[in-house]
Chain A
Amino acid sequence: MACGVFVPRAIRTLVLAVCLLLAPGSSLWAAEPARRIVSLDWGLTETLLALGVVPVAVADVPGYRGWVVEPALPEGVVDLGSRFEPNLEQLQQLKPDLILATPYQNPLKPLLEQIAPVETIAIYEEDASGRDSGNHPLERAVAATRHLGSLTDRQSEAEALIADTDALFLAARQRLETAGAEAHRPLYIATSVDERHVWLYARNSLFQDVFERLGLSNAWQAETNFWGFSSAGYDELADAPEARLLLLRPLPSGVEASLARNPLWNALPFVRAQRVALIDPVLMFGTLPASGRFARLLVLTLTGAPL
């Protein structure tokens, strides 16, 4: 890039022309895999990293490190700022040749397309009819993995990631089966919003799909939004007395202490029976790597030993 300034334009053009002529099947330039990829969504970022592709830049680096954790984001990946308002100047100057986005970034598309082609990959998407017709993020994440694999010419890595995740689910399922009935209690999987409210993941969520693959059941059966969660007060968690509660880290500050003093919380069946566990951060709106990480965290939590 930088040295390009010093090479006279005529010579550069000549070299380029020669390259083009000599390249076998020069029309393949059109299908050249993208080299400088930018990802604006954490879920797509984690799949890219799992395929061995390091994006030039991603949106909200501190957020990724706090909420997604792994695959670890290498140093040197440029931060683009908010996922809702990625910094366009910064993006422009990085000269990407492909921008990956999700439907919630659709309003940005006209702006982004001025910089580079935008590939919108949908995992979580509101039904056009506005109805909840049922979404399976895991299936869509598998399709997204293949799609990203072909975009980056990592088809075999993509197939490997899909196969590895499948194998991981199978191994996890078997481990849970050997662990017996105790490991198969219905699970509430939730993010704590404050000391009175939780977001519960169920239908339409990645976590629900992972539960099904591992032979686990979700204790929360209520309707959810297209992100796969619904909001509830703690008192609504009493309907499944045999259930276990998994709370995702990080908890908002002060919540742990205030729950400990709370009579309703302390009377909930899973609290009385000490069936509450905090699990490490895992992206609730994630893709295949998040589903694998979630399965491993489940095995660790439910059997006490890592997979």
Chain B
Amino acid sequence: MLASLSLRGRDSRALLPALFLLLLLPALAMAVHGLNDRLPMREWPALLAPHTLPQIIASASLLPRSLAALLCGAALGLAGALFQHVLRNRMAAPETVGTAGGAQLALALTTLFAPSLLDGGRVWVAFGGGLIAVALVFALAWRQKLEPLPLILAGMIVTLYCGALGSALILMNEQYLVSLFVWGSGSLVQNDWSAIRLLAPMLAAGMMACLVLLRPLVLLELGDEAARSLGVPLFALRAAALAVAVFLSTAVISSIGLFGFIGLAGPTLASFAGARTLRQRLLWSPLLAMALLWLTDQTVQQIDRLLGDPLPTGAITALFGAPLILLLLPQMKAHGGLWQGTVSVIRSAAPWRRVILLAMLVLAAAIVALCWGRGPQGWRWIGDLHELTPLLPWRLPRSAAALAAGGLLAAAGMILQRLTANPMASPEVLGITSGAAIGMISMLYIAPSAAGFTHVVAASAGALGVLLVILLLGRRSAFSPDRILLAGIALGALFDALTAVLTANGDPRAVILLNWTMGSTYRVDGAQATLTVGIAVVLLGLTPLISRWLTILPLGDGTSRSLGLSLGRTRLLLLIMTAAMTATATLVIGPLSFIGLMAPHLARMLGLHTVPSQMAGAILSGGLLMLAADWAGRMVLFPFQLPAGLMATLFGAPLVMWLLTRKR
């Protein structure tokens, strides 16, 4: 919509500065007004050598806060422009390559295990963590030559994994890690110039590097083939430019905090306002991002004065950033070919024998989960039914619900991977889990003491909402796989932002929220377990009916059509089914787990290649993983309990990363 308003040709030269001033002037006015409130204008010359307290506050708090907003905005805008140029993806942003997650995890680990390092070294700890995470993401995407989509998916998985580990640490040490909540949501509050002194030289270095890289980067615009024929070392150039972008974004993250979507908003605004050449984008993206973050922060300060409770600026930027991605989606060019899956023809000699073995394994695990556990007398195997009965109300619903949820997610993942011909698709990526989570959280805050049933309703409404968004977006592009996946990523980010806002003010409910988002089966009672298992039986029972579709769809649109498949209707039905499966599972084990991603691959590794046997294998192994994760989560830190979804992530993410690096 905005794009249609954007002017082309010569007029754009006037539009860019106009937009810049439109953002900058109100911010400047608010900043001057705010400073004047604290320190009358005639005293401003004293800011160079402050003596009185108002002078010191103005010079050590207000000025650096404005400057921090400007520097962060500029660095993130520049990084975003580089990412977008190199990855040829208008959705690339500093956050999508894993820096934030890595930095946050490094800080959490250091706070717990080597607090002395934080004294003066806080910035470098976060910096190191961010760099390691980015290196991991690049390593995972290396085989695909850092192509756009693999890189962003790898970034998302690493970010999720770091986030899961970080959340586990926060859960285990509720009160000590409050400061990470505040940092994680991007506060610009400053008390001195130290962050500025750290950030300014890093930004300057990044800008120098950009100048050096500018000429070869311009050649990238000609396309890979043309650039290569001009002798541009494409791979080295991309790696260098990405390194600069990563450096800039980690610098911001480590010295100030997270402001993810500013890095996306800057370049986006720049191209909407008509920046066409790389030179224009590298100039205007940082300027617009800078003005935007400053304006946001000044507005947040005004709201703070009204509300009393400080809002984290970074989380606010993310709240409007996520819808921005959704707005961008229709303009994305669908990637063709990159993710076309191959249909395997190798078949295991006796697939069903393996499926039956797997089923027996699930049964054995279920018995262990019910009978073996820790209690006041330590580890005990309780085989006697009479003795077991009083414990069953606690063990049975959780185990049964975990098993059913794992199976549902696995089936949903299987459908999605076949549907999109994309081995990295999963319900977590689709965003349905995030939608359910947003619904559930809203209920937790609107009516905190409401009964569990209302949570079920709220989460289903959220999942349905996301489904509708996906259907709307999807219809325009005939359910193009890539767009649906990217919409999912955007919704996931929106959910993260919402969580950050809600947890930053230190409300004790944040812990309940964290527990649930990490997939705790704690609140599952008999009724919910029955419901979950019932829905699972129905939905999973339907899967044999869709085997034919799932076999044909990966062969490509043309083949599918020629075999008599109505593409739009088939995809719609499969999406609805996936959504129902995902929503049911999310209610039990939260929005984050890799079960849906992993289980289909596990089944394939077990030699199950035909659709019906792979589906059965995926459901069984997904259920088994979740059951094991739930049991382990209850036992590892007894009497404290770790959420099942979190445990499944800790088990599963390394496996997923290995899958990513595997040759296709």
Chain A interface residues (CB < 8 Å from chain B): 63, 67, 78-82, 84-90, 92-94, 103-104, 106-108, 110-111, 114, 126, 193-197, 199, 222-223, 225, 227, 229-235, 238, 241, 252-254, 257-258, 261-265, 267-269
User: Quick one: which of B61, B116, B183, B394 contacts A88, CB cutoff 8 A?
Assistant: B394
Task: Please judge, given known A-B contacts A110-B451, A230-B309, A268-B53, whether A84 and B61 are in contact too, CB under 8 Å.
Answer: no
Cβ–Cβ < 8 Å partners of B99 in chain A = none
**Distance A223 CA – B390 CA, assembled complex (angstroms):** 48
**Distance A262 CA – B192 CA, assembled complex (angstroms):** 6
A144 shortest CB reach to chain B, Å = 18
Task: Please judge, given known A-B contacts A106-B449, A263-B56, whether A257 and B119 are in contact too, CB under 8 Å.
Answer: yes
**Distance A67 CA – B54 CA, assembled complex (angstroms):** 36
| B639 and A79 contacting across the interface, CB-CB below 8 Å | yes
Task: Please judge, given known A-B contacts A107-B452, A238-B57, A267-B53, whether A196 and B375 are in contact too, CB under 8 Å.
Answer: no
**Distance A94 CA – B62 CA, assembled complex (angstroms):** 56
| A107 and B523 contacting across the interface, CB-CB below 8 Å | yes
Interface residues of B in 154-213 (CB under 8 A from A): 171, 174-176, 178-179, 182-183, 187, 189-194
| A267 and B56 contacting across the interface, CB-CB below 8 Å | yes
Given contacts A86-B639, A252-B179, 20 further A-B contacts (CB under 8 A): A82-B640, A85-B520, A87-B634, A89-B375, A93-B376, A106-B449, A108-B523, A193-B179, A194-B179, A197-B182, A197-B187, A230-B308, A235-B62, A238-B53, A238-B54, A241-B53, A253-B116, A257-B119, A264-B192, A267-B56
Nearest chain A residue, comparing its CB with the CB of B307: A223
**Distance A199 CA – B182 CA, assembled complex (angstroms):** 12
| A261 and B525 contacting across the interface, CB-CB below 8 Å | no
| A93 and B187 contacting across the interface, CB-CB below 8 Å | no
A90 shortest CB reach to chain B, Å = 5
B438 shortest CB reach to chain A, Å = 18
Asked whether any CB of chain A lies closer than 8 Å to the CB of B310, the reply is yes
| A194 and B183 contacting across the interface, CB-CB below 8 Å | yes
| A264 and B57 contacting across the interface, CB-CB below 8 Å | yes
Asked whether any CB of chain A lies closer than 8 Å to the CB of B26, the reply is no
| A254 and B57 contacting across the interface, CB-CB below 8 Å | no
**Distance A289 CA – B385 CA, assembled complex (angstroms):** 45
- What 10 pairs between A and B have smallest CB-CB spacing? A253-B115, A194-B179, A81-B639, A267-B56, A264-B60, A254-B118, A87-B639, A81-B640, A235-B61, A264-B191
Q: Interface size on B (CB < 8 Å)?
A: 63
Task: Please judge, given known A-B contacts A107-B452, A194-B179, whether A261 and B641 are in contact too, CB under 8 Å.
Answer: no
A193 shortest CB reach to chain B, Å = 5
B45 shortest CB reach to chain A, Å = 18
Task: Please judge, given known A-B contacts A107-B452, A107-B523, A110-B451, whether A87 and B187 are in contact too, CB under 8 Å.
Answer: no
Interface 1/0s, chain B 506-539, versus A by CB < 8 A?
Answer: 1111011001000010110100000000000000
A4 shortest CB reach to chain B, Å = 14
**Distance A104 CA – B183 CA, assembled complex (angstroms):** 25
**Distance A107 CA – B120 CA, assembled complex (angstroms):** 42
Task: Please judge, given known A-B contacts A81-B641, A90-B376, A253-B118, whether A232 and B391 are in contact too, CB under 8 Å.
Answer: no
B597 shortest CB reach to chain A, Å = 27
**Distance A242 CA – B522 CA, assembled complex (angstroms):** 50
**Distance A122 CA – B486 CA, assembled complex (angstroms):** 46
Task: Please judge, given known A-B contacts A93-B376, A196-B189, A263-B192, whether A233 and B506 are in contact too, CB under 8 Å.
Answer: no
16 contacts across the A-B interface (CB closer than 8 A): A81-B640, A84-B511, A85-B520, A87-B634, A88-B394, A89-B373, A89-B391, A107-B523, A193-B182, A194-B182, A233-B191, A235-B57, A252-B179, A253-B115, A262-B191, A263-B192
Nearest chain A residue, comparing its CB with the CB of B61: A235
**Distance A269 CA – B56 CA, assembled complex (angstroms):** 11
| B525 and A196 contacting across the interface, CB-CB below 8 Å | no
Asked whether any CB of chain A lies closer than 8 Å to the CB of B638, the reply is yes
User: Quick one: which of A103, A231, A235, A269 contacts B309, CB cutoff 8 A?
Assistant: A231
Task: Please judge, given known A-B contacts A199-B506, A230-B308, whether A235 and B515 are in contact too, CB under 8 Å.
Answer: no
**Distance A258 CA – B391 CA, assembled complex (angstroms):** 50
**Distance A264 CA – B59 CA, assembled complex (angstroms):** 9
Asked whether any CB of chain A lies closer than 8 Å to the CB of B17, the reply is no
User: Quick one: which of A89, A233, A261, A269 contacts B394, CB cutoff 8 A?
Assistant: A89
Asked whether any CB of chain A lies closer than 8 Å to the CB of B111, the reply is yes
Chain B interface residues (CB < 8 Å from chain A): 50, 53-54, 56-57, 60-62, 111, 115-116, 118-120, 122, 171, 174-176, 178-179, 182-183, 187, 189-194, 308-310, 373, 375-376, 390-391, 393-395, 448-449, 451-452, 505-509, 511-512, 515, 520, 522-523, 525, 634, 637-641
**Distance A233 CA – B394 CA, assembled complex (angstroms):** 44
Task: Please judge, given known A-B contacts A85-B515, A235-B57, A264-B60, whether A104 and B508 are in contact too, CB under 8 Å.
Answer: yes
Cβ–Cβ < 8 Å partners of A269 in chain B = 53
Cβ–Cβ < 8 Å partners of A252 in chain B = 111, 176, 178-179
**Distance A233 CA – B61 CA, assembled complex (angstroms):** 10
| A85 and B53 contacting across the interface, CB-CB below 8 Å | no
B267 shortest CB reach to chain A, Å = 30
Cβ–Cβ < 8 Å partners of A233 in chain B = 61, 189, 191, 310
Cβ–Cβ < 8 Å partners of B452 in chain A = 107, 110
| A267 and B60 contacting across the interface, CB-CB below 8 Å | yes
| A126 and B118 contacting across the interface, CB-CB below 8 Å | no
Cβ–Cβ < 8 Å partners of B62 in chain A = 235
Task: Please judge, given known A-B contacts A231-B310, A233-B310, whether A264 and B639 are in contact too, CB under 8 Å.
Answer: no
| B118 and A107 contacting across the interface, CB-CB below 8 Å | no
**Distance A67 CA – B174 CA, assembled complex (angstroms):** 12
**Distance A89 CA – B522 CA, assembled complex (angstroms):** 11
| A87 and B641 contacting across the interface, CB-CB below 8 Å | yes
Output the residue of A88, A108, A223 with the most chain B CB within 10 A.
A88
| B507 and A81 contacting across the interface, CB-CB below 8 Å | no
**Distance A261 CA – B189 CA, assembled complex (angstroms):** 16
| A235 and B191 contacting across the interface, CB-CB below 8 Å | yes
| B507 and A84 contacting across the interface, CB-CB below 8 Å | no
**Distance A86 CA – B640 CA, assembled complex (angstroms):** 7
| B639 and A257 contacting across the interface, CB-CB below 8 Å | no
| A110 and B191 contacting across the interface, CB-CB below 8 Å | no
**Distance A49 CA – B168 CA, assembled complex (angstroms):** 32
Task: Please judge, given known A-B contacts A111-B525, A196-B191, A222-B308, whether A254 and B60 are in contact too, CB under 8 Å.
Answer: no
Task: Please judge, given known A-B contacts A231-B506, A253-B115, whether A92 and B390 are in contact too, CB under 8 Å.
Answer: yes
B170 shortest CB reach to chain A, Å = 12
| B175 and A267 contacting across the interface, CB-CB below 8 Å | no
User: Quick one: which of B111, B115, B192, B449 contacts A261, CB cutoff 8 A?
Assistant: B192
Task: Please judge, given known A-B contacts A78-B376, A264-B56, whether A196 and B308 are in contact too, CB under 8 Å.
Answer: no
A80 shortest CB reach to chain B, Å = 6
Cβ–Cβ < 8 Å partners of B309 in chain A = 223, 225, 230-231
B396 shortest CB reach to chain A, Å = 11
**Distance A225 CA – B309 CA, assembled complex (angstroms):** 9
User: Quick one: which of B56, B449, B451, B515 contacts A84, CB cutoff 8 A?
Assistant: B515
Cβ–Cβ < 8 Å partners of B641 in chain A = 81-82, 85, 87
Nearest chain B residue, comparing its CB with the CB of A257: B119
| A107 and B449 contacting across the interface, CB-CB below 8 Å | yes
Nearest chain A residue, comparing its CB with the CB of B51: A267
Nearest chain A residue, comparing its CB with the CB of B57: A235
Nearest chain B residue, comparing its CB with the CB of A252: B179
Task: Please judge, given known A-B contacts A253-B115, A257-B120, A262-B191, whether A110 and B525 are in contact too, CB under 8 Å.
Answer: yes
